[in-house]
Structure formats: structure tokens, C-alpha cells
Amino acid sequence: MIYDFKGKNVWVTGASSGIGMGLANQLAEKGATVFVSARNVDKLNENFADNASVTILSGDLTSADVNKKIAAQIKASAGGLDCVIFNAGTAEYVDVYNFSAAPFERMIEANYFSMVRGIEAAMPLIKESKNAYLVGMSSSVSWQGLPSGQAYSASKAAIRNLFQGLKIELAPKDIAVSWICPGFVKTPLTDKNTFDMPFRVSIEEATDTIVKHLEKQTTEIHFPKRFTYFLKIVSYLPAGLAAKILSKTVPESSL
Ligand SMILES: NC(=O)c1ccc[n+]([C@@H]2O[C@H](COP(=O)([O-])OP(=O)(O)OC[C@H]3O[C@@H](n4cnc5c(N)ncnc54)[C@H](OP(=O)(O)O)[C@@H]3O)[C@@H](O)[C@H]2O)c1
């Protein structure tokens, strides 16, 4: 069955740039009433001020109170909420030889706990929808730990694990659940990377693929397949062999 976004109330987090911005625009074009959140109000205004289908509800989503305030604003303005795309997130790389807990704490807070607090805020509204749909942004690195990315990929693995459990448990309540595991997408987040990013796709390509699969309610959305299947296959290999294959990805600075 196709999930038709027309007439649905959709909250997209992390829409001031990148994938979230692309998704919010596409879903508005498909006839959804879209609520967008992020911290940077100027960028949100730049992206959406002229779009009558989009309402800006800014704030720092690591705060439980901000999430609850936004959910209350959606209820007051639209009467309810059908779908949330929990996309907000950030990436930080670590130097494991000079190990520090701080980036791990920041990644879990920004990527995982912001989402958990968002689900807490949205759930009372989602439960009332007849077309309830929760979507979490994970990553293909959630399948396999990689050099320098340990803090980021652990937060994304936590998200995937959370959504796997939600999927099973919320199905009898008619709440659909999907999660997204992209490879590299060209956004401000990956523009900071200094390493090779094989098969990096544009925001347009990423959002086209994601929206197509959201309409089909694909459980795990992943792309580009030439990259994600490679990582999936490596993650199914005996762990020692996988580590050997991936030893080439250790950055020179760590050797
Ligand atoms: N690009 C990739 O290759 C890739 C691959 C796999 C997964 N992902 C995931 O896709 C999602 C979107 O990333 P992107 O590549 O599109 O990066 P991006 O352009 O940097 O977008 C990240 C968005 O998250 C928002 N955000 C970050 N921290 C926030 C906070 N505390 N409160 C509210 N909003 C916050 C940012 O807005 P403000 O800074 O204005 O708050 C921004 O709108 C992330 O979860 C990322 O981990 C990306």
C-alpha cells in the first residue's frame, strides 16, 4: 500500500540544510503540511519562508522541553501529527589513540537522545493518527564499526536498534516504522570530510530515493546500493576477515 503524503501532517527535524531540507521540500510538494525544525532560524527562513505548506518551529532538539513545545505547537496549529522524520544529527570523528569520552557523549546526545526525546514528545499525537508513521535517520555505518567514526556510528547503531524494536512492537498498534541508512550524501555534514567518499550522491538523488521508499513504507531504506550492499556484505563476514578488509580505511594519521 502506498503511503500518500497528501493531506498528512509531517514533522521533519534537521531541515535547515542537507537531507532534511530536501525531504521537507519534496513532502510539501506532495501535498503534506510540513513542520520543520532545526536551530538555525535564518537558514530555515531562507529555505521555507515563502512556502505556505511549511511551518518553521525552531529549537535545539537535544532539549526535551523544546521537543514537547514543538509537539504542542503542531497540535495547536494542525490538530494532529501523522508522520515524523527524525533526521536531525551531526557527525564528529575521534582519535582513538588519544581516547576521549567527550565526542561519544556529544554524538549520543545530539543524534540519539534528541531523537528519543522527539519520540517522547510526538508519541501522544502519533497514537491518535490513523496514518501513523515514525521514521528514524540512522546510517549505513551503523552496520559496521569503522576507523575514526566510532562515536558517530555507535549513535547511529543505537538509532537503528531502537527503530528495529519499535517496528516490531508498534505494528499491532498500526504505527508504521522505517529507518534510513544512507551511504555518503553531499551535504554540509560531509563537505567537512577530508577522506574519500565513494559513490557520494546529491541531496536530490538522496531525497528522491528516500521519498519513493517512504511512500512504500520500506522498513530499512538504504542507498546507494553499490555502496550499502558492500558494507552489508562485509558486516556479515567473519569479524576478523571484515576487520582485515577494512584495515585499508585506517587514516594515515593513525598509522
Ligand atoms: N550526509 C550523509 O552522507 C549522511 C549519511 C548517513 C546519515 N546521515 C544523517 O542524515 C541526517 C542529516 O544529515 P545531513 O547530511 O543532511 O547534514 P546537515 O546538512 O548538516 O543537516 C543536519 C541537520 O540537523 C540539524 N541539527 C543538528 N543538531 C541539531 C540540534 N541539536 N537541534 C536541532 N537540529 C539539529 C541541523 O540544523 P542546525 O545546525 O540549524 O540545528 C541540520 O538541519 C543526520 O542525522 C546524518 O547523521 C547523513
Task: Tell me whether residue 168 is in a domain.
Answer: yes
Q: What is the pLDDT of residues 159-187, one digit of tens each?
A: 999 999 999 999 999 999 999 999 999 99
Measured distance CA(18)–CA(182) in Å, rounded = 13
User: In this structure, what CATH number is given to the domain that contains residue 178?
Assistant: 3.40.50.720
Beta bridge partner(s), residue 85: 12, 135
Confidence of residue 253 (pLDDT cuts 50, 70, 90): confident
Mutate to test the pocket of ligand 1, among 13, 23, 39 (most ligand atoms within 8 A of CB): 39
155, pLDDT greater than 90 = yes
Task: Tell me whether residue 4 is in a domain.
Answer: no
The mean pLDDT value of the chain amounts to: 96
Region 14-25 average pLDDT: 98
Q: Residue 100's Cα: distance from chain center in Å?
A: 25
The pLDDT assigned to 255 comes to 64
Instruction: Give the alpha-carbon dihedral of 68, 36, 222, 213, to 10 degrees.
Output: 100
Confidence of residue 55 (pLDDT cuts 50, 70, 90): very high
Confidence of residue 195 (pLDDT cuts 50, 70, 90): confident
Task: Tell me whether residue 91 is in a domain.
Answer: yes
Task: Tell me whether residue 3 is in a domain.
Answer: no
Region 87-102 average pLDDT: 96
Q: Residue 162's Cα: distance from chain center in Å?
A: 13
Task: Tell me whether residue 121 is in a domain.
Answer: yes
Q: Is 15 in the pocket of ligand 1 (CB under 6 A)?
A: yes
Region 37-49 average pLDDT: 97
pTM equals: 0.97
Minimum-distance ligand 1 atom for the alpha carbon of 89: 45
Measured distance CA(204)–CA(211) in Å, rounded = 10
Q: Is the dihedral of CA 72, 46, 60, 163 positive or negative?
A: positive
Q: Which domain holds residue 99?
A: 9-254
The pLDDT assigned to 86 comes to 98
- For the question of residue 152 being annotated catalytic, the response is yes
Region 135-153 average pLDDT: 96
The amino acid at residue 222 is: H
| 188 C-alpha to ligand 1 centroid (Å) | 8
- What is the SS3 string spanning the chain? CCCCCCCCEEEEECCCCHHHHHHHHHHHHCCCEEEEECCCHHHHHHHHCCCCCEEECCCCCCCHHHHHHHHHHHHHHHCCCCEEEECCCCCCCCCHHHCCCHHHHHHHHHHHHHHHHHHHHHHHHHCCCCCCEEEEECCHHHCCCCCCCHHHHHHHHHHHHHHHHHHHHHHHHCCEEEEEEECCECCHHHHCCCCCCCCCECHHHHHHHHHHHHHHCCCEEEECHHHHHHHHHHHHCCHHHHHHHHHHHCCHHHC
Measured distance CA(119)–CA(218) in Å, rounded = 20
254, pLDDT greater than 70 = no
Contact yes or no for 228/183 (Cβ under 8 A):
yes
C-alpha cell at 7: 493531506
Region 66-86 average pLDDT: 98
Task: Tell me whether residue 1 is in a domain.
Answer: no
The pLDDT assigned to 250 comes to 84
Number of domains in the chain: 1
Task: Tell me whether residue 26 is in a domain.
Answer: yes
Q: Is 203 in the pocket of ligand 1 (CB under 6 A)?
A: no
Measured distance CA(80)–CA(77) in Å, rounded = 8
Question: How many CB atoms lie under 10 A from the CB of residue 225?
Answer: 12
The pLDDT assigned to 1 comes to 79
Task: Tell me whether residue 128 is in a domain.
Answer: yes
43, pLDDT greater than 70 = yes
Measured distance CA(31)–CA(127) in Å, rounded = 22
Mutate to test the pocket of ligand 1, among 90, 93, 115, 184 (most ligand atoms within 8 A of CB): 90
The pLDDT assigned to 194 comes to 86
